[in-house]
Structure 1
C-alpha cells in the first residue's frame, strides 16, 4: 500500500479512479476543498476516518500533508506498449518522455505535471538511478501522476533502440545540442529525453538519440533546471501539434 498526501493529490486520485481503501482527514479541516474530498469519498464508496491532526503528521511521508492522507494500492507501472496504445487510442502521433537519472522527487513530480498538461502519452524511467513514484512525487505533480502512464525499464539505451525500430524519433535535451528546440519537427512520433541536474544525459543515451536539442538562453548560469527545461520543450511539442490540429481535447486557457 502507499500513501497519497495533500488535498489536491488526494482529490485527483479520487477523481481518476485510483484504488483507494480509506482517507484520513484531520478533525480541524473544515475548508471547501476538504468538503469536496469527503463528497468524492462518498461517491466512490471510500471510507473516511476523522482523526487528530497529530496522527496525520505521524502517518505522513511529506512535510505538509495538509490534513489529508489517502491509503491506496501501490502505483501500477505499465509497459512501453501500453504507452504506445494510449497514443493510438487518442488518434495522435506518439509523444513519450524518457528520464535519464532524474532522482529528485520534486523535479520528477513537476515533470509529470507538465507532461500531463502538454499531452505526453507516457513517461519512461530506469529501474536504477531514477526516482520512483513516491508520496513526494505525487504531491509535486499535484495529482497528475494518477493520469500518467509510467513505464520502468532496465536499460534506457536498449529502450531507445526499440523505440526507434517502432518509428519514433528521439530528441535528447543537451545544453551543447546543435539544434534549437524551435527548429525541431515534433509533429512526428516523438520521444524527448531529459537528463539529470548537473550530469545531464549519459553518454550511451546521448549516442542513441537522433537529435541533440538545446533551449536558447541568456545569462551566466549554464542551464535550466531539469523540470523547467522539460516544461519548455513539452510546450513546444504541444504548440506544434495544436497548429497541426492533432491534439484532442486541448484547452485554450
Structure 2
C-alpha cells in the first residue's frame, strides 16, 4: 500500500497516540469487585460504605496521570509461605514504597498503619469516613485468597473470575446488589480488640486462611465456590467491624445481615 507524504505524517501521530493509550490505560482492578467491597463495609457497619471502592479509584487516577506511586502495593502480599508477625513488622517499614521497591506488596503493614491513622482521626474529632473506607477496603482484600499468594500463572488466569464470585449481574445498579450480598453474610459481633497485638494476631489468622485456601485451589486447579467466598467476606466484615469499634467509630447495624455473638 502506498502512502503520500501527508498521509504518512498523519499516520505517525495516530500510531503514537494509540501506543500511548495502550501503555497508560488504567490497569484492570484486581480485587473483590465494587459490589463485594461495598457489601463488606456495609455488613461491618460503616454508614458511608459507598466509599468502599475509593482506593481502587485512586489507583486508576494514578495510572491515567502517570503518577509513579499509588497505594497499589497495600492491597496484597505475594506470600510464598504462611504470613507471620515478622512479615507485619517488615511491611510497616514499606508503607508508601512503589512497585519497584516493594514488588511483593505490604497489605499486612497497610492494615495496621491505616488502623492507627483512622483511630487518631476519630479521637481528634476529624472527618474520618474516608479513613475507614480505606481501612475497610484493605480488610476486604485480606480475605481474597489470591491477594495472599504469589502472582503466578494460576493467579493471573483465575484472579478476575474469583474477584467476581459474589457479583450480582441481575441488578441495574451496583449499589442494588449490596443488600443481596449482605443478606447472605454472617458477622461475629463479639470480637473485641484491646491492643494492637490482638489486632495483628487476628489479622494473621485471616491472612493464613486466605493463604491456605489459595494453596488448596491451586492443588485442585479450581476457583473458589460461592460458599467459600461468603465465608471469606464474613471474616473481612467481622474484622473491620471490630477495628471500627476499637477505633471508636460509630457502627451501624444492617437488618439484612445476620449478626452472631460467639463466646
Normalising by structure 1, report the TM-score. 0.28
Greater helix share, 1 or 2?
2
Q: Quick check: which has more Rg, 1 or 2?
A: 2
Greater strand share, 1 or 2?
1
Structure possessing the higher relative contact order (Cα contacts under 8 Å, 6 or more residues apart): 2
Normalising by structure 2, report the TM-score. 0.27
